[in-house]
């Protein structure tokens, strides 16, 4: 059977419902993100406003991976517009559990790097990743990101384990 087609594109306000469901499920299932599901209070209405604000901010983007009108992956970026740091931008990304290891994460990240390359003022991409998130670190390193620093013990899991937060960056 052929694989279903996955589209990588900017989020639209009409994705709000599906994106909201996706984000909630990611916060429920992934231990490698900071936000827990119970801390995520957005519903479809708020999500719609959030997408609209991203789309009207020329220094930020929300990319989604969509199949059959369902969001199965996302990457969103944010930028501090103060002059001395405005050349840098940060992002976070995730792919639905059942769709992982199919090249969707790489496709989202490559689309984002491409967008930054074409941007008139962005030069540096920064990310934060938990030190035990091996698959994400492999993906970032394979796209050229270098380790720049460590926030020792910055993350504490519910079972008491304390791990480091690694800072990586790329100058595309």
**Contact status: 170 vs ligand COA (CB under 6 A):** no
Closer to ligand COA by Cβ: residue 51 or 136:
136
**Contact status: 36 vs ligand COA (CB under 6 A):** no
3-class secondary structure, 150: strand
Helix H segments across the chain?
Answer: 16-29, 44-56, 104-118, 134-142
Task: Report DSSP state, residue 96.
Answer: -
Residues 5, 101, 118, 159: which binds ligand COA (CB under 6 A)?
101
Stretch of 51-59, 87-95, 146-154, 159-167 lying at the interface with ligand COA (CB under 6 A): 87-95
CA proximity to 151, closest of 170, 126, 123: 126
Closer to ligand COA by Cβ: residue 53 or 106:
106
Residue window 142-161: x/- pattern of binding to ligand COA, with contact defined by CB under 6 A:
x-------------------
Question: How many residues contact ligand COA, by CB under 6 A?
Answer: 22
Residues 104, 122, 125, 170: which binds ligand COA (CB under 6 A)?
104
Distance, in Å, from the CA atom of 46 to the CA atom of 20, rounded to the nearest integer, reads: 9
| Per-residue b or e along 21-58, where b marks 16 or more CB atoms closer than 10 Å to that residue's CB | ebbeebbeeeebbeeeeeeeeeeeeebbebbeebeeee
**Contact status: 131 vs ligand COA (CB under 6 A):** no
Cβ contact 143:170 at 8 Å: yes
Residues 43, 103, 149, 153: which binds ligand COA (CB under 6 A)?
103
**Phi, psi angles (nearest 5°) of residue 109:** -65, -40
User: Which residues of this protein are in contact with ligand COA, per CB under 6 A?
Assistant: 30, 32-33, 92-95, 100-106, 129, 133-136, 138-139, 142
């Amino acid at each position: 059977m052929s694989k279903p087609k996955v589209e990588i594109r900017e989020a639209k306000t009409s994705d709000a419902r599906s994106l909201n469901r996706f984000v909630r499920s990611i916060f429920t299932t992934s231990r490698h993100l900071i936000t827990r599901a119970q801390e995520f209070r957005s519903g479809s209405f708020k999500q719609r406003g959030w997408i609209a604000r991203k789309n009207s901010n020329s220094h930020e983007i929300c990319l989604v991976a969509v199949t059959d009108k369902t969001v199965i992956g996302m990457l969103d970026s944010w930028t501090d517009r103060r002059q001395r740091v405005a050349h840098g931008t940060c992002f976070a990304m995730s792919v639905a559990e059942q769709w992982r290891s199919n090249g969707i994460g790489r496709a989202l990240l490559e689309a984002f790097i491409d967008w930054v390359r074409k941007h008139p003022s962005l030069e540096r991409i920064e990310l934060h990743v938990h030190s035990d998130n091996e698959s994400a670190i492999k993906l970032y390193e394979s796209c050229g990101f270098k380790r720049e620093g460590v926030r020792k013990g910055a993350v504490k899991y519910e079972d008491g384990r304390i791990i480091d937060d690694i800072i990586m960056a790329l100058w595309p």
